[in-house]
Amino acid sequence: MPVNLLDIQKKLKGFGAQALARKEEIAVRQKEVTDLIQGYAHRLDELKARVSYAADVVRHLRCALPVDEPLDTVVPKPPLPKKFTVMAADGSQINPSRHAQVAFCVINVGLIKMVRGSGLTPEIFTQSQLLDYDSLFTPSGVLISEGMVALKRDLREREALADLAEDLLLPAISMTDGPLELYREPQETREFEKTLDQYLGVLKRLHEQGLMTLGYVDKPGSSLIGQLLELVELSDQDLEAYSHRQRKFAGVNDVSLLSDLLVNPGDRSAIFAIHSETSQRFKGDLALHFFYLNVGTPGKTHLARVEIPAWVACDHDLVGVLQAVLTEQTCIMGSRPYPYILHRAHEVAVVTLPEHQHVEEMIVAEFDRRGISVDEKSNKQYHKDLDRTKTRYQG
């Protein structure tokens, strides 16, 4: 049954009006936050003290924490090093499904290593991991969630980079898509803690190997800076009742705040630390930081959020290298800036449907060989897989 476009059409007028009204509300709030950025640009100690106080009274507090640069800092792009290594890893997965014939999970990681300035062809690697059968089930006996698989994939991406980090030409930068910070699903706390410990171990290895690591967030929707400035606007009493679900500056995201500041391609914002429950586990050299980078073209600003560990954030020379390299990588993709090397890692990692089916057939054959009974696909999956192309009477 197709979408009933008449039903949609009837709602369009109201929908557009709501969107306009919301945009106008947000514009008013945005002006307030922009004024606060100017007002607090150099009052970093006050802001740090406020975050410290709020952390004690607000549950699940998540905001930016200034480090040592004024809030309205703009750092232009430094020159690109003549020679450097840039690497990326990206993962894709086959999630276990109760609708399939057998339960299985595959994590596929694509890696690419490019030595810029060498004139050499980049190296490509693929690491495919069939998860142990026992690890597919939670202690209560149900299949692990897609969120848990995503967590394992994030870990594998960083492990793969660390495995490849021998004898690198320095400076060397590695990147993955998305934040460096990990997110958990509430029901899988124990497994999350275990994975997080392994993850922190890998980040430590990358530091020891001198391989800078970053998480690249395209089209970020976060409002970490807005949430920081919200804290100074609230009284102590209001702060105790503060919830990230009812925010004073709701809808004002960091990109809209900084777009008028970071006007030139390659400009970066001040570096901030991330204050959140999870980020508290990233201590010392691994403490999570971020900045915004204009990866757009002249007259067309496009901001990305770049997450880095403290050991990179504290060394402005390293940040400069990273800034120049990221700007070049995004520039390679022309009118739609995104790091070339990350896109290539994604291309290498993608598991296609025929590959998915082939792996499933291999597992079913192994089960048959061992005399293990194999379920049928669920009827729901069977019908989904039916060939939907119509045939025509040819007689």
Could you list the residues that contact another protein (CB under 8 A)? 112, 114-116, 118-122, 124, 328, 331-336, 340, 343-344, 347
Q: Are 271 and 291 in contact (CB under 8 A)?
A: yes
- Least distance CB 326 / another protein (angstroms): 14
Q: Are 65 and 228 in contact (CB under 8 A)?
A: yes
Q: How many CA atoms lie within 13 A of 179 on its CB side?
A: 14
**Of 336 and 369, which has the nearer Cβ to another protein?**
336
**Of 120 and 362, which has the nearer Cβ to another protein?**
120
Q: How many CA atoms lie within 13 A of 349 on its CB side?
A: 28
Helix axes 189-208 and 146-163, enclosed angle (nearest 10)? 20
* 255 vs 107: CA distance, rounded Å: 33
- Least distance CB 265 / another protein (angstroms): 11
**Of 118 and 357, which has the nearer Cβ to another protein?**
118
* 329 vs 73: CA distance, rounded Å: 23
**Of 232 and 333, which has the nearer Cβ to another protein?**
333
- Least distance CB 225 / another protein (angstroms): 31
**Of 195 and 327, which has the nearer Cβ to another protein?**
327
Distances (CA, A) of 72 to 41, 92, 289: 6, 38, 17
- Least distance CB 322 / another protein (angstroms): 17
* 114 vs 81: CA distance, rounded Å: 14
Residues 6+ apart with CB under 8 A from 221: 253, 255
Among residues 192, 120, 127, the alpha carbon closest in space to that of 161 is found at 127
- Least distance CB 25 / another protein (angstroms): 36
- Least distance CB 358 / another protein (angstroms): 17
Among residues 229, 226, 231, the alpha carbon closest in space to that of 250 is found at 226
- Least distance CB 330 / another protein (angstroms): 10
- Least distance CB 329 / another protein (angstroms): 10
CA–chain centroid gap for 150, Å, is: 11
Sheet holding 288-294, edge to edge: 63-66, 272-275, 288-294, 303-309, 211-217, 172-177, 84-94, 106-116, 123-130
- Least distance CB 332 / another protein (angstroms): 5
Amino acid letter at 179?
P
**Of 114 and 303, which has the nearer Cβ to another protein?**
114
Query: 281 burial class (0-12, 13-18, 19+ CB within 10 angstroms)?
Result: middle
**Of 173 and 312, which has the nearer Cβ to another protein?**
173
CA angle at 323 for the pair 318 and 328, rounded to the nearest 5°: 130
**Of 320 and 339, which has the nearer Cβ to another protein?**
339
- Residue 286, φ and ψ in degrees, nearest 5: -100, 0
**Of 40 and 340, which has the nearer Cβ to another protein?**
340
- Residue 76, φ and ψ in degrees, nearest 5: -70, 160
**Of 307 and 328, which has the nearer Cβ to another protein?**
328
- Least distance CB 297 / another protein (angstroms): 9
